């Protein structure tokens, strides 16, 4: 949701005072424009050449030096495009994902007829071995920024996960958020109109720059691929027709164990209890079963990687560079007055959604060698959270590869005692499902293999 903060009502005189500063684009025909272009290209090459584990302050210093030079001075429209302490890996990522486009836009403004400005993205946090405390939940899985090969296997996974976040941003742009954004942009124009002509661009640009969308993104992450251990999923899937489940998947072999108890909600129809769940009938209709087999190791490892990162999402004020067309008649010049003029600012928000068909699944990853298990929850079968939604899609894709058969690894029944199912709505399960969940584990322990299969649930 985008909500511009209306003007503070500061009176601006018609005659410019002596302490008023003006910053304008360099004409593309001027020699200084060509020199500025060369400085931009030099910074681009320098950032590309710097190692990911280099000193971020050197990169930030070089960026700020460029922004303070002639032809880039209008960049002061943005108070702090990147924080001073940003790791170099974060700076380089920001530069590639929109920082360079933003800086270069000030040269584009010097070309005849150009009236498009670029709002820069916010630099993302960096999640590597060097940026976390030793007790961070993922410390044992994080790669050093010095080790480019460590997370090589997960580059495609990272790309797909970031694409899922992008799809969520595009979904918002197609819905109610688009209308709110249009209203916010109109408010910025309307608020700038009463200003003296020389201040209209500054007022409009301040409002546009201050309107934030608070979008969820991943940090810049270097996390190695999980290749061993067990991933356990527990909880209810479905609403009126449902299955309470325990699923255990082995990352090394792809072995899969599924214990289910399925039924359909039976509802009372008498006037006194209409719409309430008939627990006795619902329980009587349960159909338990245990299935074993195998599924895709590659998708299983990717899903586990995505689940591990699910709680690491961050909210940024702007996830992507945004272009805006300067209103007709506004002279493109940024003005400042040290004597205390305050220009417009902005604020924003986000949106969430849910529906009654959603449930929660708990997940636990048990690393090998008795490592500390990691746990979390996802909303099923879809979620307003892009990380959870991507995990849901991967669960579906993974389980479509399931092939019943003799599993290559015994069920991890001892580990399952250290997992807990996510809760179920008290409306759907007034008496809870603890007993049913315990029975799912018992069914796994008691499973008897078919002839020719040596694996068991014990």
Contact 15, 359 (CB under 8 A): no
Q: Is a pLDDT exceeding 70 seen at residue 112?
A: yes
Give the per-residue pLDDT at 280: 87
Stretch among 97-101, 288-292, 345-349, 406-410 having the lowest mean pLDDT? 345-349
2: confidence class by pLDDT, cuts 50, 70, 90: very low
Q: How buried is residue 206: exposed, middle or buried, by Cβ count under 10 Å (0-12/13-18/19+)? A: buried
135: confidence class by pLDDT, cuts 50, 70, 90: very high
Stretch among 20-34, 236-250, 287-301, 332-346 having the lowest mean pLDDT? 332-346
Specify the higher pLDDT residue, 349 or 314: 314
CA count, 13 A, side-chain hemisphere, 58? 11
SS3 124: coil
From the list 432, 422, 441, 423, the residue with the least C-alpha distance to 282 is 432
Pairing between β-strand 403-404 and β-strand 287-294 as defined by DSSP bridges? antiparallel
Q: How many percent of the chain have pLDDT more than 90? A: 71
Phi, psi of 216, deg, nearest 5: -90, 135
Q: Which helix (H) or strand (E) element contains residue 314?
A: strand 314-316
CA distance 56 to 126: 12
Arithmetic mean of pLDDT, 251-261: 97
Q: Is a pLDDT exceeding 80 seen at residue 165?
A: yes
446: confidence class by pLDDT, cuts 50, 70, 90: very high
Q: What is the pLDDT of residues 39-94, one digit of tens each?
A: 999 999 999 999 999 999 999 999 999 999 999 999 999 988 899 999 999 999 99
**Per-residue DSSP letters for 61-108?**
HHHHHHHTSTTSGGGGGSS-SS-TT--HHHHHHHIIIIIHHHHHHHHH
DSSP single-letter state for residue 160: H
Specify the higher pLDDT residue, 2 or 151: 151
Give the per-residue pLDDT at 341: 47
Q: How many C-beta atoms lie closer than 10 Å to residue 50's C-beta?
A: 18
Cis status, amide bond into 381, omega within 30 of 0 = yes
């Amino acid at each position: 949701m985008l909500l511009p903060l209306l003007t503070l009502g500061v009176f601006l005189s018609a005659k410019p005072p002596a302490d008023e500063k003006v910053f304008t684009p360099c004409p593309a025909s001027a020699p200084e424009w060509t020199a500025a272009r060369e400085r931009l290209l030099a910074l681009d090459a320098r950032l590309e050449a710097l190692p990911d584990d280099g000193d971020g302050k050197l990169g930030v210093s070089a960026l700020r030096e460029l922004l303070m030079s002639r032809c880039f001075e209008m960049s002061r429209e943005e108070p702090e495009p990147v924080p001073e302490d940003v790791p170099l890996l974060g700076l380089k990522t920001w530069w590639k994902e929109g920082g360079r486009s933003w800086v270069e836009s000030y040269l584009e403004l010097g070309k005849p007829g150009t009236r498009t400005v670029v709002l820069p993205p916010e630099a993302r946090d960096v999640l590597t071995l060097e940026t976390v405390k030793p007790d961070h939940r993922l410390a044992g899985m994080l790669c050093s920024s010095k080790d480019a090969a460590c997370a090589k296997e997960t580059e495609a996974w990272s790309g797909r996960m970031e694409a899922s976040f992008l799809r969520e941003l595009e979904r918002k742009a197609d819905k109610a958020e688009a209308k709110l954004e249009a209203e916010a942009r109109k408010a910025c124009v309307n608020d700038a109109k009463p200003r003296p002509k020389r201040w209209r661009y500054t007022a409009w640009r301040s409002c546009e720059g201050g309107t934030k969308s608070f979008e969820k993104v991943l940090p810049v992450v270097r996390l190695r691929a999980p290749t061993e251990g067990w991933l356990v999923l527990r909880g209810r899937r479905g609403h009126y027709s449902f299955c309470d489940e325990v699923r255990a998947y082995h990352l090394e072999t792809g072995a899969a164990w599924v214990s289910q108890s399925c039924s359909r909600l039976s509802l009372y129809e008498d006037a006194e209890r209409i719409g309430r769940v008939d627990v006795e009938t619902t329980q009587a209709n349960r159909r338990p079963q245990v299935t074993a087999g195998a599924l895709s190791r590659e998708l299983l490892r990717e899903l586990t990687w995505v689940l591990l990162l699910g709680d690491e999402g961050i909210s940024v004020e702007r996830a992507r560079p945004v272009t805006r067309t300067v209103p007709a008649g506004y002279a493109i010049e940024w003005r400042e007055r040290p004597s205390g003029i305050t220009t417009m600012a902005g604020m924003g928000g986000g949106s969430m959604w849910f529906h009654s068909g959603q449930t929660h699944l708990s997940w636990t990853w048990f690393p090998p060698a008795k490592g500390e298990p990691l746990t979390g929850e996802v909303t099923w079968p879809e979620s307003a959270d892009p990380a959870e939604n991507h995990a849901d899609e991967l669960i579906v894709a993974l389980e479509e590869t399931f092939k019943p058969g003799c599993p290559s690894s015994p069920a991890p029944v001892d580990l399952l005692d250290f997992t807990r199912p996510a809760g179920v709505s008290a409306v759907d399960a007034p008496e809870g499902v603890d007993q049913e969940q315990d029975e799912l584990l018992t069914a796994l322990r008691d499973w008897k293999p078919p002839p020719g299969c040596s694996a068991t649930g014990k």
